């Protein structure tokens, strides 16, 4: 048991007994050492044994027993450790009499803090995300949450860096509407580019030049022409025109939003080695209220997409009762 978490034994209970034995034998050995070094007493007038060491000419070392207060302090520490290991985890998998764990303690503390925070966050839970994004107080709280939980990857301004997407532009994988962003934060996302699809590095460099040509960027025309046919290995995800499919997590290769770099070398490296990234799910760790505020803050950074307007169904014409309908003209005789 380490800090309250069960450690897998893989094959057997060997490591449980191994750690327990070392711990118990270590305590017993400390008791033996302490007892053996403190039982000797000097008779009245007897001088302690000289250890035949001298410093600075006349500074000598004697083998005096430990002071009694110091000895009892050591004994107290040893007996304290024994009591601790009886009550708390520390001897192999033994959970302790009190069955305490850091996981339970953390959860209890988190639940208590979340309950306090939710009193502040709760008024915003029933509001539309765009309305929350426009509220100055909600924006301030969302910024604090963002700096605490998101800035390590996306930067304090949300502009990301190599391997971490920019949240302030209009290029969104998996969508940039409030609901899409909330789904990304709550449930996480996984993005992967398989490597080795182009074969050798020369073919990958040719494809990289062709990809740059799709976006009208500087490239080697001859290499791009050679890479056009080889690009077929990429078209299944990124499309024949390189526009990708944002909803499925396939990036657009014709814009400037390159997560790992948009140079020939960087694109070649992505093709050869592949890429794998992900956004960890945050709902369980943060709770619904914090995710709601974070979503509004991220959407309000400037790159959020407004949701499509809901189309009202066309009104259905009411049927005219048969008795109210005009009579049909009489047929000509």
Q: Which long-range contacts (CB under 8 A, 24 or more apart) does 73-81 make?
A: 74/34, 75/34, 78/27, 78/30, 78/31, 78/34, 81/27
Shared domain check, 292 and 163: yes
What are the tens digits of pLDDT across the range 143-185?
999 999 999 999 999 999 888 999 999 889 898 999 999 999 9
- Look at residue 307 and tell me if it is in a domain: no
The CATH number linked to 248 is 1.10.760.10
What are the tens digits of pLDDT across the range 49-70?
777 767 777 787 777 777 788 8
Cα 54 to chain center, whole Å?
60
pLDDT (0 to 100) of residue 314: 59
- Look at residue 162 and tell me if it is in a domain: yes
pLDDT (0 to 100) of residue 182: 95
Shared domain check, 1 and 96: yes
pLDDT (0 to 100) of residue 37: 74
Shared domain check, 159 and 212: no
- Look at residue 328 and tell me if it is in a domain: no
108, with CB counted inside 10 A (0-12, 13-18, 19+), is exposed
Shared domain check, 123 and 57: no
The count of structural domains within the chain is: 3
Do 142 and 153 form a contact (C-beta atoms < 8 A)? no
pLDDT (0 to 100) of residue 327: 52
Cα 158 to chain center, whole Å?
16
Shared domain check, 141 and 202: no
pLDDT (0 to 100) of residue 141: 93
- Look at residue 332 and tell me if it is in a domain: no
Residue position matching structure tokens 């899409």: 180
pLDDT (0 to 100) of residue 21: 93
Residue 324 DSSP SS3: helix
| DSSP tag of 193 | E
Shared domain check, 288 and 184: yes
Give bridge partners of residue 275 from the DSSP assignment.
Answer: 193
Count other Cβ atoms within 10 Å, centred on residue 234: 22
Shared domain check, 167 and 56: no
Shared domain check, 180 and 239: no
Q: Averaged in consecutive runs of 10 residues, what is the pLDDT profile of the chain (333 residues)?
A: 47 83 94 80 68 74 78 93 93 90 90 85 89 93 95 94 91 91 94 88 94 95 95 92 89 91 94 91 91 95 82 60 52 39
List helix spans (H) across the chain: 14-38, 68-87, 102-125, 129-134, 136-149, 151-154, 178-187, 201-214, 221-228, 232-238, 264-273, 283-286, 288-299
- Look at residue 323 and tell me if it is in a domain: no
pLDDT (0 to 100) of residue 333: 33
185, with CB counted inside 10 A (0-12, 13-18, 19+), is buried
Shared domain check, 128 and 240: no
Shared domain check, 127 and 246: no
pLDDT (0 to 100) of residue 317: 57
pLDDT (0 to 100) of residue 43: 66
Residue 279 phi, psi (nearest 5): -110, 115
């Amino acid at each position: 048991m380490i800090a309250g978490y069960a450690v897998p034994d893989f094959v057997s209970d060997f490591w449980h007994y191994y750690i327990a034995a070392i711990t118990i034998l270590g305590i017993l050995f400390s008791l033996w050492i302490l007892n053996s070094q403190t039982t000797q007493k000097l008779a009245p007038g007897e001088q302690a044994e000289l250890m035949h060491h001298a410093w600075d000419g006349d500074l000598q070392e004697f083998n005096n027993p430990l002071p009694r207060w110091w000895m009892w302090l050591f004994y107290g520490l040893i007996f304290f450790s024994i009591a601790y290991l009886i009550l708390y985890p520390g001897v192999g998998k033994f959970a302790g009499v009190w069955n305490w764990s850091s996981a339970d303690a953390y959860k209890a503390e988190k639940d208590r803090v979340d309950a306090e925070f939710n009193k502040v966050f709760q008024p915003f839970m029933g509001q539309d995300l765009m309305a929350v994004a426009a509220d100055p107080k909600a924006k301030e709280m969302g910024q604090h949450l963002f700096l605490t939980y998101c800035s390590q990857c996306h930067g304090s301004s949300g502009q990301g860096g190599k391997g971490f997407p920019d949240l302030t532009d209009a290029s969104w994988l998996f969508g940039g509407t409030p609901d899409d962003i909330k789904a990304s934060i709550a449930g996480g996302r996984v993005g992967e580019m398989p490597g080795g699809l182009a074969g050798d590095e020369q073919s990958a460099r040719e494809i990289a030049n062709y990809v740059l040509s799709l976006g009208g960027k500087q490239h080697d025309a001859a290499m791009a022409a050679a890479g056009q046919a080889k690009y077929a290995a990429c078209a299944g995800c990124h499309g024949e025109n390189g526009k990708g499919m944002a909803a499925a997590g396939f990036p657009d290769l014709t814009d400037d939003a390159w997560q790992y770099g948009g140079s020939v070398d960087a694109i070649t490296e992505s093709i050869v080695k592949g890429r794998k990234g992900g956004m960890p799910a945050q709902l369980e760790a943060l709770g619904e209220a914090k995710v709601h505020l974070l979503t509004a803050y991220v959407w309000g950074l400037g790159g959020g997409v407004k949701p499509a307007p809901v189309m009202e169904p066309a009104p259905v014409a009411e049927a005219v009762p048969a008795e109210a309908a005009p009579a049909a003209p009489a047929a000509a005789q």
